[in-house]
Every structure is written in structure tokens, then in C-alpha cells.
Amino acid sequence: MHEWWTSLLEPDGLLLREKALTAVDPDDVLTALRSGRLRRIQRGIYLPRRIEAVPLVLARAALISSGVPDAVPSHQTAARVHQIAVPEDHCIAHVTVTRDERRRNRPDLRFYTRSIRCGEVETHDGVPVTTVARTLADLATSLERTRAVWALDDALRRRFCAKADILAVIERWRGGSGCVSARDRLDEADGMAESILETAGRLVLRDRGVPLPIPQHELRAPDGTLVARLDGAYIREKVALEFDGMDSHGLPEAVFRDRWRQNGLPELGWTVLRFTWWDVMRDPDQVAAIVQRTLRRRAS
């Protein structure tokens, strides 16, 4: 079906309201929105239902909608372009502007004014976004602690950049809002966690003075056969930690694999402690206490 907006679309599929109104009546736009054939991406910017709202398109929409020529998509908006793990809030975009160009935050668009230095912006298909290192530094100041450390863990594990690159960005800020917390979050990241639950579990243990396990430890039988790859391992005490996130362990294949693994560990003298998201987030003191008691019992 040929829609009236087909010839008005931008190369990336965006439809700008000002261009649409040169061709049709405002009621036609409203009708298309109400029917779902068009969806609103940002103020005055739409996307046809058949076109996927990929991160780079959303970043360009935020750039245009900001009304600031030198605005740069940043924070979560840039993170999604870089495929960094961040919370799902696609209804909100983030841009950084100069202090003189600061705008009032909107429900769909947030503005930041920390200065961007040379080398902290890169272009993707003509759309400027903050670099991976600058994006992670921004996230370390703006996200809740667990989410921030998980974003750092995820990016470092996948080698998107090095810790030194992120630290260099933070040090260039020379103080100011969020610098201390950004350094703390970076110190807490180890780039080993493979899920946000593993990151959260590590922070719970760290905060309560419990020794941290060796992450992603491969446990092998005497003949060299791989028995399990443990989320966390205390080798001397032979205590294994497993963090059961719904994203991976909820799948049937993973369930059977986990059960087989759990059955094989006691044969090698290991104790397995399994924790869910509910355990870690709702009762972190109990999680830490269980790990601590088990370590003491096994050590004795």
C-alpha cells in the first residue's frame, strides 16, 4: 500500500512534521498516528510502522528534535548505538549540548551540559555520538550504581575499550558533578561479569566485606574434562556461586544443563550456592551471610 508520506521520508526513514505539513493536512498526520501506521519518535518526528527504530535512527531523531545544531547524542542513546548494555528506556533520548544551549528536559529528551573535548565524538553514517569511552564515563555518573557497573563490565568484557581510556575521560573533567562516583564505579568494574545479576552479586559481597570469588572459573575433572564454567568459585573452600538470571537460565536447554552441572559438582567435593535476582536485590544481607557461613564451614 502506497502511503502519502513515502516520498517525504528522510534517507533513514524518519518523517519530519514540518515537511509532512507542506504536503498534507494536519488531520492526515493525526489519523496516521492514531491508526499506528506512523509512530512518534520525538517531538515533530515520526517513523512508519514498517521501519525498525534502530539505535542510530533514534539518535538522529534526538539530534534533530533537540533544536541545537551542535548537540551530540550521548549517555544511553549513544550506548545503544555502541551496543553497550543499558536499561530499556527507548522512550527517552539523551543529548549533550554546550551550557549556553541548555534546554529544559522533556519527557522524551534529556539534556546534559558537560563539555565534550576533542576526540570524544565519532560519526556513524553522518550521525555524531559520543565515543565508547566518553559514553561509559557519562553512564558512570548518571545511572544507578548496579546498572552503571554492569554497563562498564559488559563493555570491558567485550573489549569495546580499556579501563584506562575511560579513566582518561574522567580525569579530563577535573572535578565537578559525578567525578568521584564515576571513578568509584570504574574501580568496581572488573570486566568479567556476563550478566547484570553477576555484577549485582559481586557488589553485594564487596559491600559486606565477603571475599570475592574467582569469576568465570572453569572446573575440570581429574582427566581434564570440563565439568562446569562457574559464575564464581572459591577454589580452596570448593564453593561455587551460580547466579540464575532469567535471560539465560530460564531457557529449557539451560535448565537441563544447569541441573547436570549441579549434580556433577558434589562428586568433586564442591558445594553449590544458587541465587536468583530476587535473592540478590531483595535480601542482599542474607545472600552475603549465606556465602560467608558456607566459606567458614568449608574452611573448617
pLDDT digits (tens, 9 = 90+) for 225-240: 888 889 999 999 999 9
1 within some domain: no
Are 14 and 72 in the same domain?
Answer: no
Cα separations in angstroms, 190 against 133, 149, 212, 295? 16, 9, 11, 22
- Residues linked to residue 42 through DSSP beta bridges, in sequence order: 45
pLDDT tens by residue, 93-144: 999 999 888 889 999 999 999 999 999 999 999 999 999 999 999 999 999 9
Residues comprising the chain, all counted: 300
Residues 37 and 59 reside in one and the same domain: no
Q: Note down pLDDT in tens along the chain; length 300 residues.
A: 579 999 999 999 999 999 999 999 999 999 999 999 999 999 999 999 999 999 999 999 999 999 998 999 999 999 999 999 998 876 799 999 998 888 899 999 999 999 999 999 999 999 999 999 999 999 999 999 999 999 999 999 999 999 999 999 999 998 777 899 999 999 999 999 999 999 999 999 999 999 999 999 999 888 888 888 899 999 999 999 999 875 544 455 554 455 555 567 887 889 999 999 999 999 999 999 999 999 999 988
pTM for this model (two decimals): 0.89
Can you say how many angstroms the Cα of residue 97 is from the centroid of all Cα atoms in its chain? Answer: 22
- C-alpha cell belonging to residue 247: 535471560
**CATH code for the domain of 225:** 3.40.960.10
Q: Which domain holds residue 225?
A: 196-299
Contacts of 285 (CB under 8 A, 6+ apart): 208
Query: Does the residue 167 lie in any domain?
Result: yes
Query: Could you give the count of Cα atoms lying within 13 Å of 264 in the half-sphere of its Cβ?
Result: 16
- The conformation of residue 269, written as its DSSP 8-state character, comes to T
Say if residues 298 and 239 touch (Cβ distance below 8 Å).
yes
Q: Which residue from 93, 78, 77, 217 is spatially nearest to 161, judged by alpha carbons?
A: 78
Burial 199-224 (b: 16+ CB within 10 A, else e): bbbbbbbeeeebeebebebebeeeee
Let me know if residue 36 belongs to a domain.
yes
For residue 26, is it within any domain?
Answer: yes
Runs of H (alpha helix) within 230-276: 246-249, 252-267
User: In the beta sheet, which residues pair with residue 242?
Assistant: 274
Would you say residue 219 lies in a domain? yes
